[in-house]
Amino acid sequence: MIPSELVDTFGRVHDYLRISVTDRCNLRCVYCMPADGMEFEPDENILSIKEITEVVRVMADMGVKKVRLTGGEPLVRKGIENLVSAIAGIPGIDDIAMTTNGIFLARKAQKLKEAGLNRVNISLDTLKADRFSLITRGGDVQRVLDSIAACQQVGIEPIKLNVVLMKGINDDEIEDFLQLTIDSQLQVRFIEYMPIGHNDLRWKQSYLPLSTVLERCHHLGWKVAASHHVRGNGPAQTFRIEGAKGSFGLIHPVSDHFCETCNRLRLTADGNIKPCLYWSDEFNVRKCIGNDDAVRELFSRALHIKPLNHEMAKAFVDESQTHVPTVRRMSQIGG
Q: Is 30 in the site for ligand SAM (CB under 6 A)?
A: no
99 binds ligand SAM (CB under 6 A): yes
CB of 304: closest distance to ligand SAM in angstroms? 27
Which one of ligand SAM, ligand SF4, none interacts with residue 194, CB within 5 to 8 A by kind? ligand SAM
State which of positions 211-270 bind ligand SF4 (CB under 6 A).
Answer: none
4, 21, 166: which is closest to 83 by C-alpha?
Answer: 21
Output the smallest distance, CB 293 to ligand SAM, in A: 32
Inter-residue contact 187 to 148 (CB < 8 Å): no
Cβ 127 vs Cβ 141: under 8 Å: yes
- CA distances, 313 to each of 117, 125, 203 (Å): 34, 22, 12
CB 165 within 8 A of CB 211: no
CB of 328 to ligand SF4, least distance (A): 12
Nearest to 20 by CA among 296, 329, 232: 329
**Distance, CA of 329 to CA of 123 (rounded, Å):** 17
Out of 6, 21, 30, 32, the only residue in the binding site for ligand SAM (CB under 6 A) is: 32
Question: Of the candidates 53, 101, 187, 309, which one interacts with ligand SF4 according to CB under 6 A?
Answer: 101
40: Cα within 13 Å, side-chain hemisphere: 16
Rounded to a whole number of angstroms, the minimum distance from the CB of residue 93 to ligand SF4 is 24
Which x/- pattern, by CB under 6 A, does the window 105-134 give for ligand SF4? ------------------x-----------
Q: Which residues of 248-262 are buried (b: 16+ CB within 10 A; e: fewer)?
A: bbbbbbbeebebeeb
Give the dihedral sign, CA 23/290/112/63. Answer: negative
Q: What residues numbered 113-142 form the site for ligand SAM, per CB under 6 A?
A: 123
33 binds ligand SF4 (CB under 6 A): yes
Give the three-state DSSP class for 119: strand
Q: Does residue 29 belong to the site contacting ligand SF4 (CB under 6 A)?
A: yes
Residue with smallest beta-carbon separation from ligand SAM? 335
User: Which parts of this chain interact with ligand SF4 (CB under 6 A)?
Assistant: 25, 27-29, 32-33, 71-73, 101, 123, 330-331
User: Which parts of this chain interact with ligand SAM (CB under 6 A)?
Assistant: 25, 31-32, 70-71, 73, 99-101, 123, 162, 164, 191, 193-194, 196, 330-331, 334-335
